[in-house]
Amino acid sequence: MRKNTWLAIALCLALGLTACAKKSESASGANAAPDSSPAKEYALKGEVIRLDPSLHIAVIKGEKIEGWMEAMTMEYPVKDVAEFQKLKAGEKIQASVFVKGDDYWVSNVQEASAAPAGAAPLPSDAPPAK
Ligand SMILES: [Cu+2]
């Protein structure tokens, strides 16, 4: 049956293309340049000023990053959606800035004020001082 043969070919092509797209997506990450040199990682401490959810850009008032950036407020792309969702305007954070050529982005976001779990008791739990 001719019709079925064509259908099978079309199906193969469709599957092949899907597999191909998936492969290249996961291999390169989000918008990664085809540059084989590893990204440099810097520690970033700062305050989230503003977020742009459509572009996944965070405006962060950062402390000086030794060897890369003076203390300044600037836009940082956050490539990882899960990382971007951790950010809240007005929050103090620590994070990593990855720099690769002209490209840079923020990841490993942590709340800077977050105490280690169970470390500090809440003031209201403390017994009244005598
Ligand atoms: Cu800057």
What pLDDT score was predicted for residue 116? 58
Numbers of helices and strands, H then E, in the chain: 2, 5
Where are the chain's structural domains? 40-111
What pLDDT score was predicted for residue 122? 57
Whole-number Å distance, alpha carbon 58 to ligand 1 midpoint, is: 13
What pLDDT score was predicted for residue 39? 94
What pLDDT score was predicted for residue 15? 39
If residue 76 lies in a helix (H) or strand (E), which one and from where to where?
strand 72-77
Whole-number Å distance, alpha carbon 67 to ligand 1 midpoint, is: 12
**CA 76 to CA 107: how far, in whole Å?**
10
What pLDDT score was predicted for residue 37? 83
- Asked whether the whole model's pTM tops 0.75, one would answer no
Whole-number Å distance, alpha carbon 71 to ligand 1 midpoint, is: 7
Whole-number Å distance, alpha carbon 73 to ligand 1 midpoint, is: 7
Q: Which residues pair with 110 in a beta bridge?
A: 94
Whole-number Å distance, alpha carbon 44 to ligand 1 midpoint, is: 12
**CA 36 to CA 69: how far, in whole Å?**
23
Could you tell me which CATH number the domain at 40-111 has?
2.40.50.320
pLDDT in tens, the chain (130 residues): 555 655 554 543 443 333 333 333 334 445 554 557 899 999 999 999 999 999 999 999 999 999 999 999 999 999 999 999 999 999 999 999 999 999 999 999 999 865 555 555 556 665 666 6
Whole-number Å distance, alpha carbon 122 to ligand 1 midpoint, is: 37
